[in-house]
Structure 1
Amino acid sequence: MSGPHGSAFSGRLGWGARPALLVIDLVRAYTEAGGPFELPGPGPAIEATRALLEAARTAGHPVVWTSVAYTRGLADGGLFVRKVPELRAFEEGGEGGWGKIGPLKPEPGEAVVTKQYASAFFGTSLASTLHTSGVDTLVTTGVSTSGCVRVSAMDALNHGFRPQVVRQACADRTEAVHESNLVDLDAKHADVVDLDEALAHLAR
């Protein structure tokens, strides 16, 4: 992924010794028809995430999920809910249950981090949870590529984890937005990897 400075952006983070799987915001608002953030054709990303979940669980790697929730009245939403008014769909007591995780579900013992902002790390216990488990590599999936996936991968790097963003396990509102953000992530903030590579590493 060379930029205007030749190989300035050609580095690779690689895989460490202890991976965890992070499933970002696979909630009904994104995955179901009629949802406020409905994505076109999220099925392939969901199925890729399903395969990664099976591999991580079989090998005993930690799995962490995120969801979004705001208190009634959105007092904990700050300026983010002003910038993206449809986030009110995640308000406590709101109709539709759009913040519920689905169609994939956490298993008992898998942590669910509730967040109010795009990053899975900002204002949450995620970094402490991963560090305590000895995690050094974060296999990242979910939605959307340009939003919560991108920012979470950047913050993973900032917190000392090796973010591995699985191309086929993420989705966005258009393919062009999805691909352009993967290119930029791979250049500067994460390793973008294919599903087969991620499955092979999780199986080790």
Structure 2
Amino acid sequence: MLNQSSHTALLLMDVQNAITSRFAELSEALVPFQKALETARRNGIPVIFVRLAFRDGHPEISPRNKSFSRISESGLGAMSPTDAAAQIHSSLEPMPGEPIVTKLRVSAFAGSDLEVILRSRQINTLVLGGIATSGVVLSTLREAADKDFALTVLSDACLDADPEVHRVLIEKVFPRQADVMTAAAWAETLD
């Protein structure tokens, strides 16, 4: 099993303070993320954290971009890589050597060096968890599938503000391009 996992990486996406703070019952909601993180580390699977951050003044954000132009208006803070808002939630603290990739759009690949990191490590299988299911998880899954990565989505290590959208994506859309399972079920495949 370790041979297969040597080409697998766990991507935990947008689990940063500005985004996690939008969810009530956060400590309970992050338990599957913590389970996935523990599973990956226990099995020697590389973990890569992905976050959204911009330069001071947000020069990367076009006023025509409906989603991102709201950032400066939304009170999410400066969202620079050093701001507290852009830091990974403390319950999912990255360990030394676990990359934190900074992206500039919804997909984990957009404006980041994620693909360079994955290719340099000969990663061909991605296990995805993130916030939001309809945002970073959907966009990253689609782009990763187009780049021919094998994919697994951890259904309970994905959160979305709209439970119905989450359900439809997990049950009907994602299975077309990925294996979908819980963090506990994924752990069982490795143990």
Amino acid at match of 2:93: K
**Mapped contact 1:42–1:171 kept (Cα < 8 A):** no
Distance 1:112 1:93 in 2: 13
Which ranges in structure 1 are unaligned for 5 or more consecutive residues?
Answer: 1-14, 33-37
1:161 to 128, 134, 149: 149
Which ranges in structure 2 are unaligned for 5 or more consecutive residues?
Answer: none
Q: Which residue is 2:88 aligned to?
A: 101
After superposition, the Cα gap between the structure-2 partners of 1:157 and 1:113, relative to the gap in structure 1 and judged at 3 Å, is same
- The question of 1:59 aligning with 2:43 is answered yes
Distance 1:108 1:31 in 2: 22
TM-score (norm 2): 0.84
- The question of 1:21 aligning with 2:5 is answered no
SS of residue paired to 1:98: helix
Q: Which moved more, 1:71-80 or 1:113-122?
A: 71-80
Q: Which has the higher helix share?
A: 2
Q: Which runs of 4+ in 1 moved over 6 A?
A: none
SS of residue paired to 1:107: coil
Distance 1:106 1:161 in 2: 24
- The question of 1:68 aligning with 2:52 is answered yes
1:1-204 correspondence runs (5 A) = 18-32=7-21, 38-78=22-62, 81-88=65-72, 89=76, 91-92=78-79, 97-103=84-90, 104-203=92-191
Q: Which moved more, 1:170-179 or 1:69-78?
A: 69-78
1:35-59: CA deviation from partner (whole Å, max 9, x where unpaired):
xxx1244444411111111111111
After superposition, the Cα gap between the structure-2 partners of 1:75 and 1:163, relative to the gap in structure 1 and judged at 3 Å, is same
Distance 1:80 1:198 in 2: 40
**Mapped contact 2:6–2:44 kept (Cα < 8 A):** no
Amino acid at match of 1:173: A
The alpha carbon displacement at 1:80 in A equals 6.8
Amino acid at match of 1:56: A
Overall identity of the aligned pairs, in %: 28
The alpha carbon displacement at 1:112 in A equals 0.6
Distance 1:18 1:93 in 2: 31
After superposition, the Cα gap between the structure-2 partners of 1:150 and 1:45, relative to the gap in structure 1 and judged at 3 Å, is farther
The alpha carbon displacement at 1:195 in A equals 2.2
After superposition, the Cα gap between the structure-2 partners of 1:80 and 1:200, relative to the gap in structure 1 and judged at 3 Å, is farther
SS of residue paired to 2:85: coil
TM-score (norm 1): 0.79
Q: Which residue is 1:35 aligned to?
A: none
Distance 1:93 1:23 in 2: 19
Distance 1:148 1:93 in 2: 18
**Mapped contact 1:74–1:81 kept (Cα < 8 A):** no
Amino acid at match of 2:162: T
